[in-house]
Structures are given as C-alpha cells and as structure tokens.
C-alpha cells in the first residue's frame, strides 16, 4: 500500500485525474491524503467533491479555508465572493449530502510519523496540543446547527495563543492556525495578511515552520495553502501547494521510503488570477 499526499486541488478536477494516472493510483490498495481546499476558484468543484467523497476510506482530506467558506455559505452564515466557483455544489441535488460529508472532515489527521493539515501551527503548540485543539473545534463544528459557528469564524483576532482564550475567540484562533496561517512574528503572534513567498515579507515576520522555539519541531507535517511558497521540504515540514490553480502544478508526495514527488501542469495555463 502506498500513501500519497496531494496539494490544494481547488476544483482542478482534470489535473487531479491526470495526477492519479501519473502515480497509477489504485483505490483498492493505495490511499490519498488531501491537504484541504479541495474546492473553489477552479472550474470543477462539484466533480472534485463528489469524486473524493466517493473514494470512501481510500481518501483522507482535512478542511482548508475554502472548504470552510463553502460550508459557511451553504449554511447561510456568509455570502459568495466574486471569484467563488462552487455555485454548482449549492445547486446540486446532492448538495446536503455533500455539505454534511465535508462538515465531518477533520482539521488535523495523524497517522504513523506524519500529520496532515491545511495551513500550519503556531509555535506555542506541541503536537499533543494541536490534536486536542483540532478535536475541540471539530466537535463544535459538527454538532447541531453550524450557523453560529460560521457566523463567528471570520476575523483575524486574537493574534496570539493562550490557554486562557475562551469562547469564540479561542475557536477562531484555532481555525485560523489550521486553515490560514503563513507567518508569525518572533513572539508567536499571527500575521494573517502577508501572503508573499519567504524573502519578500517584512523583516519581523517568519514562516510558521521557521519560528524560533517551535514546539512542534520534530514532527513530520504535510500542509498546503501557500501557493507562493510552492513545494518546500524544511524542518520536517512539507508544503505541497504548487499553485495549479494559478497556472502551476498539482503535486503528490509519496509518504514512504525516498518520498518521491510527482507533478502535473495546469492544463488551462491558469484558472484564476492570484489574490488569495
């Protein structure tokens, strides 16, 4: 059995199928780990969501910010943005089934020596804390009417972790770490607005995986979210967002042995102009 982690698909279904052909994926023997953002901005979100859901136990996906945005719109807690491309999901006859399945996805998946998440972790968390925080939010997201969760989800505050964080501020911070973080400062405060690749950011900011004293150091973490970073293997962290949506590639990384990498190009040249 082989396990392949796959970067942000974002509705690029044709490229996903091409990538699975490239790795000779066999759903009876292999497994796929998706880093989140399986929908939105690309041309075929509905087909992508249906396909991954139909893979059943052969696929694991964690929630990304675009997946949560779809859920927020679907539950009436937010409105679509002008570049959103998940209207077909909202109009589909199996809409409720798809949204329910997506709502049940985790923020963090751990297996063997690897952890799968969408964006990153704050430096104050070790992996035990990360797992507990993920389960805390998943429990709130999945229970009852999710409208209240999504109505409090958006926002950049609080910026820094404390065990004393309470209520929706605590939930929002955890969600922002798992689905939005790229940079933090030397004190571990999140900066959720900076999106440029490392080397172009303000001098006081560091990529989350380079933060001094990061307590998750030593864990093998697979993530996406950061298309301007591209493929990166550093400090036990592996970024797989190679920007297929923006005209780059869709990437898979086999999580055993020599960890070979496989990529296919964006078939349309570009599906969007970058801004998120």
φ and ψ at residue 151, rounded to 5 degrees: -70, -20
Among 6, 10, 81, residue whose Cα is nearest residue 246: 10
Question: Residue 247: phi, psi to the nearest 5?
Answer: 100, 10
Q: For position 272, what pLDDT does the model report? A: 67
Amino acid 276: pLDDT: 44
Q: Which of 229, 258, 266 is nearest to 120 (CA)?
A: 229
Q: In this predicted model, what pLDDT tens digit does every residue of 116-140 receive, in sequence order? A: 999 999 999 999 999 999 999 999 9
- Given this model, what pLDDT does residue 145 score? 82
Specify whether the CB–CB gap between 69 and 111 falls below 8 A.
no
Report pLDDT for 108.
98
* Core vs surface per residue 58-82: b (16+ CB within 10 A) or e: ebbbbbbbbbbbbbbbbbebbeeee
pLDDT digits 0-9 by tens, 21-59? 999 999 999 999 999 999 999 999 999 999 999 999 999
pLDDT at 144: 79
What domains can you pick out in the chain, each with its CATH number?
3-265 (3.60.21.10)
Residue 66 CA to residue 194 CA, distance in Å, equals: 17
For every residue of 217-228, DSSP letters joined together read TTSEEEE---TT
- Identify the three-state secondary structure at position 234: strand
> Which segments of the chain have a pLDDT < 50?
274-276
Other Cβ atoms within 10 Å of 12 Cβ, number: 26
**Whole-number pLDDT of residue 275:** 45
Handedness of CA 99, 15, 261, 257 (dihedral sign): positive
**Contact in structure between 246 and 272 (CB atoms under 8 Å):** yes
If you count DSSP H runs as helices and E runs as strands, how many of each does the chain have, helices first? 8, 13
User: Parallel, antiparallel, or unpaired: how do β-strands 31-34 and 261-265 relate?
Assistant: unpaired
Pure H helices in 163-210: 167-179
């Amino acid at each position: 059995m082989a396990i392949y982690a796959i970067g942000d698909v974002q509705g690029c279904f044709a490229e996903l199928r091409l990538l699975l052909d490239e790795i000779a994926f066999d759903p009876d023997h292999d497994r796929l780990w998706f880093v989140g953002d399986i929908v939105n901005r690309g041309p075929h979100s509905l087909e992508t969501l249906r396909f991954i859901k139909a893979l059943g136990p052969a696929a694991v996906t964690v929630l990304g910010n675009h997946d949560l945005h779809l859920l927020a719109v679907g539950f009436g807690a937010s409105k679509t943005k002008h570049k959103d491309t998940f209207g077909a999901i909202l109009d589909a006859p199996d809409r409720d089934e798809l949204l329910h399945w997506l709502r049940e996805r985790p923020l963090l998946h751990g297996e063997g020596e690897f952890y799968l998440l969408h964006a990153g972790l704050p430096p104050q968390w070790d992996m035990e804390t990360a797992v507990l925080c993920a389960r805390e939010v998943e429990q709130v997201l999945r229970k009852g009417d999710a409208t209240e969760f999504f109505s409090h989800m958006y926002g950049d505050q609080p910026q820094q972790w404390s065990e004393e964080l309470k209520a929706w501020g605590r939930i929002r911070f955890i969600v922002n770490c798992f689905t939005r973080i790229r940079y933090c400062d030397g004190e571990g405060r999140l900066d959720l607005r900076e999106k440029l690749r490392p080397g172009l950011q303000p001098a006081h900011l560091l990529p989350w995986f380079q933060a001094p004293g990061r307590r998750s150091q030593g864990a093998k973490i697979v993530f996406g979210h950061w298309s301007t970073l591209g493929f990166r293997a550093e400090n036990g962290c592996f970024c797989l967002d190679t920007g297929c949506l923006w005209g780059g590639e869709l990437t898979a990384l086999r999580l055993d042995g020599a960890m070979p990498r496989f990529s296919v190009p964006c078939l349309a040249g570009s599906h969007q102009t970058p801004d998120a």
